[in-house]
Amino acid sequence: MKGGSTIRNVLVGIVYVFLLPLLFALLPVTVGLIVGMNVGGAAGKLSVLPGVGDGGGAIAGVAAGVYAVLILGVLGAVVPSDDTAEAPEQNVEGATGEAATAADGGNQGATAEESSTAAPEPTVTATPKSTPEPTAEPTPEPTPTATTQPEMPMHDVGESFTVGDGEMSIEYTVTDVTTADNVGGEYGEDADGEFVIVTMSMENVGDESLDITSRPFTVVDSEGREFEVDTNAMVYAEDSIVFEQLNPGLSKEGVVIFDVNPDGEYTMHIAPAGMFSTATTHRVAISGEIQ
């Protein structure tokens, strides 16, 4: 057996002993949680399967996990064995050895014939002068064209705008921007710099129920540095946007809090809902509203 086959067998053994059991254990649980919590409308998309309701829930999550286990079992049953790949390799090695042996025999015979034949006297031949061939000019390589990213739309406080496209669209309106050194009072959270508290309203103008979290919201300063939501301060704020489910046609008002440098100039960025959305991020000018 070649060294490559041994290494391959060791790697296959590691996959079967460690990675496959871990995959069989975690994948059904992950699928069950995603469907049970209806992340990104997953339960609605799988509601055609028996036991999976379009609203998610524990029963839908368990059913989705069972389907994931069945799919993994079917995939494990149809994966081809590694033994099949070794037989062609052995046949190729045998054929190569026979070809090499035949070639050696032919070379030996040819060598013997050449040795028994007397070498003819060399004939002097005039060498013609070679004419230099023209040198081809190198073809210039094309210069790649830079791809420009679409500019993010800018909005003012009080202006309504829609982020997202199709079924996953939310209409936002930033209604107020304030600052504070503390949130929650004596037992609350103090700012390392200054808290910027942004109040906004959101309306689901799409056709699917959406999970609203603080992930799409950031502020960016004039140097391009990005600040995420301060989750510790959000615990002490009323109507904080942490994790909400917003059904089609319904609206909600909430706040997000950022801990920033008091002397900076900031713009709020709002990304589209959904991890795989390719819609454009929108911006809101908030520096002029910070008191």
Whether the per-residue pLDDT at 67 is higher than 90: the answer is no
Whether the per-residue pLDDT at 240 is higher than 70: the answer is yes
Q: Are the C-beta atoms of 212 and 255 separated by less than 8 Å?
A: no
> Is residue 57 domain-shared with residue 158, that is, in the same domain?
no
pLDDT mean over 239-252: 91
Domain total of the chain = 2
Residue 135 lies in a domain: no
pLDDT-based confidence at residue 2 (cuts at 50, 70, 90): low
Residue 97 lies in a domain: no
Among 30, 61, 78, the domain-final residue is: 78
| Lowest-pLDDT range of 52-56, 125-129, 285-289 | 125-129
Helix (H), strand (E) at residue 259: strand 251-260
> Is residue 52 domain-shared with residue 174, that is, in the same domain?
no
DSSP letter for each residue of 126-176: PPPPPPPPPPPPPPPPPPPPPPPPPPPPEE-TT-EEEEEETTEEEEEEEEE
Among 78, 95, 121, the domain-final residue is: 78
Measured over the CA atoms of residue 75, residue 71, residue 277 and residue 239, the dihedral's sign is negative
Query: 66 or 254: whose pLDDT is higher?
Result: 254
> Tell me, what CATH number does 196's domain have?
2.60.40.1240
Residue 119 lies in a domain: no
> Is residue 285 domain-shared with residue 164, that is, in the same domain?
yes
d(CA 32, CA 223): 42
> Is residue 162 domain-shared with residue 43, that is, in the same domain?
no
User: What percentage of residues in the chain have a pLDDT greater than 70?
Assistant: 68
Mean pLDDT, the chain, rounded, equals 78
> Is residue 159 domain-shared with residue 278, that is, in the same domain?
yes
Whether the per-residue pLDDT at 229 is higher than 90: the answer is yes
> Is residue 158 domain-shared with residue 280, that is, in the same domain?
yes
* CA distances in angstroms from 194 to 175, 190, 239, 254, listed in the order given: 20, 9, 20, 19
Residue 174 lies in a domain: yes
Whether the per-residue pLDDT at 90 is higher than 70: the answer is no
Tell me the residue range of the domain where 23 lies.
3-78
Residue 207 lies in a domain: yes
Q: Which two tokens stand for residue 159?
A: 């202006």
Residue 121 lies in a domain: no
Residue 136 lies in a domain: no
Q: Are the C-beta atoms of 171 and 160 separated by less than 8 Å?
A: yes
pLDDT digits (tens, 9 = 90+) for 168-220: 899 999 999 999 999 999 999 999 999 999 999 999 999 999 988 999 999 99
Query: 173 or 51: whose pLDDT is higher?
Result: 173
User: Residue 200 burial (CB < 10 Å; 0-12/13-18/19+)?
Assistant: buried
Among 44, 78, 112, the domain-final residue is: 78
> Is residue 159 domain-shared with residue 74, that is, in the same domain?
no
> Is residue 158 domain-shared with residue 45, that is, in the same domain?
no
Residue 139 lies in a domain: no
pLDDT confidence of residue 269: 98
